Amino acid sequence: MLTRTYTKTYTLMHAWAETVVHTKNTIGVSKAVREDAPCCAPECDELLVAGEVAYSPVELERTHANPGRGEPWVCWRHIRPDDGPLRVS
């Protein structure tokens, strides 16, 4: 039996949309995803980071995972865990 002590396993998903996470101070993008928004994946404690790409996975239903708040954005760990975050400068 494989015991994982140090490595947290994240739920792997498939993105159908992606967006760039904005800082809290960004003006003119009212529907944008903001930094420090919680990742919507179950059992993931990560917060979204400004400048990184966030993903909307086919596995999560919009209303169920993120009621009233648009797409259920998740962090890169569920989409490209081996490659690390995509950063947009």
Half-sphere exposure in the Cβ direction for 74 (13 Å, CA): 27
How many of the chain's residues bind Zn ion (CB under 5 A)? 7
Which one of residues 46, 49, 50, 62 is an interface residue with Zn ion (CB under 5 A)?
46
CB 35 within 8 A of CB 48: yes
Longest CA–CA separation in the chain, Å: 52
28 vs 45, which CB is nearer to Zn ion? Answer: 45
Q: Is residue 41 a contact residue for Zn ion (CB under 5 A)?
A: yes
43 vs 89, which CB is nearer to Zn ion? Answer: 43
Q: Is residue 60 a contact residue for Zn ion (CB under 5 A)?
A: no
